[in-house]
Amino acid sequence: MSDECCEVGDIYQINPEHDEIFGACLMIVTEPKPWGAQGYFNVPGEGLAFYRCNFEDMESVGKASWIRNEEESD
């Protein structure tokens, strides 16, 4: 489990045991926080689903090449 600092564009996978719906999904960080991060999941055809997660409930898996914003979520 991660306990490190994160940056905008980092990709984290949510622990499946932490969340029944978003568990195992990949979140792209939009706002690093001292306790974890806020980010989004891209839901094809639906837009962006925003989410907050503590470091202990997610694992770093890489860096995104492209980051969407709320205006692009349509």
Q: What is the pLDDT of residues 37-53, one digit of tens each?
A: 999 999 999 999 999 99
For residue 52, being part of any structural domain is answered with yes
Q: CATH number of the domain that 45 lies in?
A: 2.30.30
For residue 16, being part of any structural domain is answered with yes
Query: Domain containing 26: what range?
Result: 10-67
Q: Give 15-24 pLDDT, tens digit per residue.
A: 999 999 999 9
For residue 18, being part of any structural domain is answered with yes
Q: How many CB atoms lie within 10 A of CB 62?
A: 11
- Is 15:1 a contact under the CB 8 Å cutoff? yes
For residue 2, being part of any structural domain is answered with no
Cα 19 to Cα 63: distance, rounded to the nearest angstrom? 22
Q: Would you state the structure tokens that stand for residue 27, as one six-digit string?
A: 């979140």
Cα 32 to Cα 35: distance, rounded to the nearest angstrom? 8
Total structural domains in the chain? 1
Residue 54 one-letter amino acid: N
Predicted TM-score of the model (pTM): 0.86
For residue 32, being part of any structural domain is answered with yes
